[in-house]
């Protein structure tokens, strides 16, 4: 979840960094900011039919589950294409779009003015590529009708009339003053990746921009914070949905420049080995994730942000903390840690149990004695927010219980590792982990991973698993329970009659039978490129 949120934030910030334009000018050059490619509906069905998910949806039980729930969407699509709010809608247009398997694109560029006082101008276009079967003229007519009913606009963007350009339909977005440039850029754009059985059904790429140009005109403090956080370190970020054998594959990736990467250096450190901590993973279905996180890089980034905020010279915040605390967190604590970690458990919310705070972090140490001494000196400065409540002994290892403002916290150092647990059951997790310390260190995730190892990313350095039944019961059913507090008139019709608990009860055994109950993930880092793949 941590990497998922970080990667999503990264992609959004990259796109936002290029959208600072509204003035009209004819640019000497334009730079690609964002490109989205997706198969048409029929392309998705073809690619995913052989996967476990496709087999489940095509099964008799699967069809009974999803077909009734899809009917409101199908009717809504027919009416949308017909421009009506009642009646059966346009069945022919619906069949045309549902049967379309061509590649669809949304592309966004930005001008690059030479004059620093000039603002960048965005250009964008939609392209619908032919699939050899669909009538593109009819497709263009459908699009023209949709745009006409919306005032020839998509959101706040003006839209041109759909036109045929070779084997595709093109719609330009922005305003009339930018259409000519957008059309020229669209003609020069290379075609999308070929549609192949193993190609992604969806691919998004957000290109990093010149941070100095983006921050032009911003307050110096704000500019310093952005740079300290590392937003200038990214060349591009990607997201894709495709297949990997019988699995559905979700992929996040980012390519970084050389040098300091700020907070991205903490979340995505340069490491190329799975941590030898998998011996701590229990056999009870507990969610787990093993990977790398650089606390030292995070501390350096935090100090750099503090320096940028205060306007003090670089290193001032770190020096001030070391003087005030009597301990240097970087040299006395984080320097004695590897980047290796293991997380057991998944905090969340259940409609039945309320907030569930449950988790254990295991960090591999370089020097356990020096780390323990430095950590204790650092902790002394956290009073009264973190207070030692009690200590207990487990096979000669001291487990310390702390009371905090938010959740119970437990801590132990043993066998070259630091164990940090949260929640009322944290001590139990530490005891179980200490018992498993007698097992040999392992970086192998188990036999279930055998068919996936050929699909892991380059520089493979992390693995994880989560039982989707837990996700369904803790999050999906809870989401439907929360919908009960929303006025019915404000909900789409298809959401008004869904029983979340019944849906979970029906779906869980179906996932089990089709090997879809477990979601697995693998990360990798090599040559400045970070990958996170999730297999379902």
Count of CB atoms situated within 10 Å of the CB of 24: 14
Residue 293 phi, psi (nearest 5): -145, 125
Output the pLDDT for position 485. 64
**Cα radius of gyration (the chain):** 27
Output the pLDDT for position 490. 60
Output the pLDDT for position 527. 94
Rounded to whole angstroms, the Cα distance separating 477 from 41 reads: 28
Chain mean position to CA 266? 16
Output the pLDDT for position 298. 96
Output the pLDDT for position 311. 86
Mean pLDDT of the chain: 85
Task: Tell me the three state secondary structure of residue 364.
Answer: strand
Average pLDDT estimate for 251-259: 94
Rounded to whole angstroms, the Cα distance separating 181 from 289 reads: 47
Spatial CA neighbour of 185 closest among 140, 118, 105, 124: 124
Q: Could you give the count of Cα atoms lying within 13 Å of 150 in the half-sphere of its Cβ? A: 18
Rounded to whole angstroms, the Cα distance separating 185 from 171 reads: 13
Q: Specify burial of residue 384 (Cβ count, 10 A radius: 0-12, 13-18, 19+).
A: exposed
Given a cut of 90, whether residue 88 has pLDDT beyond it is: no
Q: Residue 373 is encoded by which pair of tokens?
A: 């001494």
Going from the C-alpha of 205 to that of each of 108, 128, 169, 209, 237, the distances in angstroms are 11, 18, 22, 13, 6
Chain mean position to CA 317? 31
Output the pLDDT for position 221. 78
Output the pLDDT for position 500. 64
Output the pLDDT for position 352. 54
Average pLDDT estimate for 71-92: 82
pLDDT tens digits, residue range 194-250?
Answer: 544 457 899 999 988 777 766 666 677 787 888 889 888 889 999 999 999 999 999
Spatial CA neighbour of 134 closest among 176, 92, 172: 92
Output the pLDDT for position 494. 56
User: What is the DSSP-derived secondary structure letter of residue 141?
Assistant: H
Count of CB atoms situated within 10 Å of the CB of 70: 12
Q: Residue 441 is encoded by which pair of tokens?
A: 């260190």
Going from the C-alpha of 446 to that of each of 141, 206, 449, 464, 533, the distances in angstroms are 54, 35, 6, 11, 18
Rounded to whole angstroms, the Cα distance separating 457 from 272 reads: 10
pLDDT tens digits, residue range 154-196?
Answer: 888 899 999 998 899 999 998 888 899 899 888 888 776 654 4
pLDDT tens digits, residue range 352-368?
Answer: 555 556 789 999 999 99
Rounded to whole angstroms, the Cα distance separating 409 from 402 reads: 5
């Amino acid at each position: 979840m941590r990497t998922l949120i970080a990667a999503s934030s990264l992609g959004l910030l990259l796109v936002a960094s290029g959208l600072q334009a509204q003035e009209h000018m004819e640019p000497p050059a334009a730079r690609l900011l964002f490109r989205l490619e997706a198969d048409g509906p029929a392309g998705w069905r073809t690619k995913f039919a052989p996967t476990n998910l496709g087999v489940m949806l095509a099964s008799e039980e699967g069809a009974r589950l999803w077909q009734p729930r899809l009917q409101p969407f199908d009717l809504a699509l027919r009416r949308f294409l017909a421009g009506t709010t009642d009646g059966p809608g346009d069945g022919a247009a619906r069949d045309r779009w549902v049967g379309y398997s061509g590649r669809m694109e949304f592309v966004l560029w930005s001008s690059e003015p030479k004059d620093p006082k000039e603002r960048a101008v965005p250009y964008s276009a939609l392209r619908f590529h032919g699939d050899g079967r669909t009538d593109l003229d009819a497709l263009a007519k459908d699009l023209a009708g949709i745009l006409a009913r919306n005032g020839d606009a998509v959101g706040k963007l003006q839209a041109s009339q759909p036109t045929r350009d070779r084997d595709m339909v093109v719609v330009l977005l922005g305003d009339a003053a930018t259409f000519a440039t957008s059309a020229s850029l669209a003609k020069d754009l290379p075609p999308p990746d070929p549609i192949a059985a193993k190609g992604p059904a969806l691919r998004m790429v957000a290109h990093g921009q010149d941070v100095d140009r983006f921050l032009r005109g911003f307050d110096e403090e704000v500019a310093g914070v952005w740079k300290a956080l590392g937003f200038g370190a990214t060349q591009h970020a990607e997201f894709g949905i495709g297949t990997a054998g019988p699995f559905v594959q979700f992929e996040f990736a980012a390519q970084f420049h050389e040098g300091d990467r700020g907070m991205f250096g903490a979340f995505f450190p340069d490491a190329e080995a799975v941590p030898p901590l998998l011996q701590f993973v229990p056999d009870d279905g507990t969610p787990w994730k093993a990977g790398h996180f650089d606390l030292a890089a995070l501390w350096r980034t935090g100090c750099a942000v503090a320096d940028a905020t205060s306007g003090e010279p670089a290193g001032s915040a770190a020096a001030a903390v070391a003087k005030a605390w009597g301990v240097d967190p970087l040299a006395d604590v984080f320097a004695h840690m590897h980047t290796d970690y293991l997380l057991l458990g998944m905090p969340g919310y259940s409609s039945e149990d309320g907030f569930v705070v449950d988790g254990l972090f295991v960090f591999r140490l370089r020097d356990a004695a020096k780390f323990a001494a430095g950590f204790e000196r650092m902790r002394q400065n956290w009073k009264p927010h973190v207070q030692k409540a009690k200590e207990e002994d487990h096979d000669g290892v001291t487990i310390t219980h702390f009371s905090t403002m938010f959740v119970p916290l437990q801590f132990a150092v043993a066998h070259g590792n630091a164990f940090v647990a949260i929640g009322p059951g944290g001590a139990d997790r530490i005891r179980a982990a200490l018992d498993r310390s007698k097992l040999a260190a392992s970086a192998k995730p188990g036999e279930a991973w055998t068919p996936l190892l050929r699909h892991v990313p380059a520089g493979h350095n992390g693995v994880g698993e989560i039982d989707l039944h837990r996700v369904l019961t803790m999050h999906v059913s809870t989401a439907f329970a929360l919908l009960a507090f929303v006025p019915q008139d404000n909900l789409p019709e298809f959401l008004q009659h869904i029983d979340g608990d019944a849906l979970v009860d029906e779906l869980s055994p179906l996932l089990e039978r089709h090997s879809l109950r477990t979601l697995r993930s693998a990360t990798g880092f090599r040559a400045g490129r970070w990958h996170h793949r999730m297999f379902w």
